[in-house]
Amino acid sequence: DSGVTQTPKHLITATGQRVTLRCSPRSGDLSVYWYQQSLDQGLQFLIQYYNGEERAKGNILERFSAQQFPDLHSELNLSSLELGDSALYFCASSVPTNNEQFFGPGTRLTVL
């Protein structure tokens, strides 16, 4: 158990819908990262927050957004969903002083 929690574990929805994925980092970790894992693209970085502020963006679509709240939990919002958004979405957290990242169990999103 990494100490990072993610909900829900599974999500099934339809094209055009909007969903919210939630992540709670390990106690004391200020950085939260979101990654997408699909069969054809592998593990890809989406976005990073540090202590409530956006720090870096990767291959995140404009239909996707995220935020980190004062209690440091983070939410990833996916809207106007398409079939190709079906994937595993992972959250990771790390301490400020190094880059050891600890991953949650992921949310499996299926868009029908």
Partner 1 sequence: GENVEQHPSTLSVQEGDSAVIKCTYSDSASNYFPWYKQELGKGPQLIIDIRSNVGEKKDQRIAVTLNKTAKHFSLHITETQPEDSAVYFCAPSMDTGRRALTFGSGTRLQVQP
Length of the chain: 112
For 102, counting Cβ atoms within 10 Å of its Cβ (0-12 exposed, 13-18 middle, 19+ buried), the class is middle
Residues forming contacts to partner 1 in the complex (CB under 8 A) are 2, 4, 31, 33, 35, 42-45, 48, 50, 55-56, 58, 90, 92, 94-106
CB of 24 to partner 1, least distance (A): 14
Which is closer to partner 1, CB of 54 or CB of 82? 54
CB of 43 to partner 1, least distance (A): 4
Q: Which amino acid is at 17?
A: Q
CB of 49 to partner 1, least distance (A): 10
Distances (CA, A) of 54 to 14, 43, 67, 87: 29, 20, 8, 23
Which is closer to partner 1, CB of 14 or CB of 97? 97
Which is closer to partner 1, CB of 81 or CB of 92? 92
Which is closer to partner 1, CB of 1 or CB of 14? 1
Tell me whether strands 102-103 and 107-111 are parallel, antiparallel or unpaired. Answer: unpaired
Torsion from C-alpha of 108, 67, 34, 96, nearest 10 degrees: -140
CB of 94 to partner 1, least distance (A): 7
